[in-house]
Amino acid sequence: MSYTDILNKINKKGCWPVIVVDGVVGVGKTTLMNILCEEFSYQPFLEPVVNNPILDKFYYDRQRYSFSLQIFFLNNRFRMIKEAACLGNAILDRSIYGDLIFAKMLMESGDMSVEEYDLYIDLFQNMIEHCHVPKLMIYLETSVQCAVNKINKRGRDYEKIVETAYWERLNQHYSNYFNDYNISPLLRVNVDNLDFENRPEDRKYVIDLIKDKLSQM
């Protein structure tokens, strides 16, 4: 089943007033979300990573914790997107729309069983029926090496132990997902040569791209 097939149950009658920033681990999603919240005075919704009781365990034993981690994320992202939609003018660091990227990758790599994946997809599609499309999806593209460099610089021990092949698979799945993505306006930004956290000219470049995209909608 393709990503498009899975997303087909989303309610496309209208959109929710939310912007989503997505991309692989370490690409700069949270940094950009914080910049945009400052620029547009939007409400931020952080990915549930800091107080996640499963995430670090997952990286040390993926087969044992893949399914429980994905259910944790799916449940929390469903709760967050509903809250963000009610508030309006919100920006999310990842969201329910792309949650299935990890689940599909983990199933294909054998870290999640087919039976667990089928159950996950059933839950996902039941939830996505109650969601409208986002106002804008921003996909931060990057090379694997640039992402790994940022992951190592960030210094989370449980991420640093992960083999490069895992990040390569993840990057490929993100590319496949966003090649198929057609449920809302999409802005792709390659960030390999950008440092919008520390360089004002890069920050302005990205903000201008987003403003221009929003003005076209």
Q: Is 157 considered catalytic here?
A: no
pLDDT (0 to 100) of residue 26: 85
Q: Which residues of the chain have pLDDT under 50?
A: none
The DSSP secondary structure of 152-204, one letter per residue, reads HHHT-HHHHTS-HHHHHHHHHHHHHHHHH--SS-EEEEE-TT--TTT-HHHHH
Q: How far is it, in rounded angstroms, from Cα 84 to Cα 67?
A: 25
pLDDT (0 to 100) of residue 162: 84
pLDDT (0 to 100) of residue 48: 76
The response to whether 94 counts as a known ligand-binding position is yes
What is the pTM assigned to this prediction?
Answer: 0.93
Q: Where are the domains of the chain?
A: 3-215
What is the residue-averaged pLDDT of the chain? 92
Q: How far is it, in rounded angstroms, from Cα 131 to Cα 18?
A: 12
The CATH fold assigned to 3-215 is Rossmann fold (3.40.50)
The response to whether 208 counts as a known ligand-binding position is no
The response to whether 28 counts as a known ligand-binding position is yes
The response to whether 195 counts as a known ligand-binding position is yes
pLDDT (0 to 100) of residue 147: 85
pLDDT (0 to 100) of residue 155: 65
Question: Which residue among the candidates 5, 61, 93, 208 is catalytic per the annotation?
Answer: 93
The response to whether 47 counts as a known ligand-binding position is yes
Provide the 8-state DSSP code for 96.
G
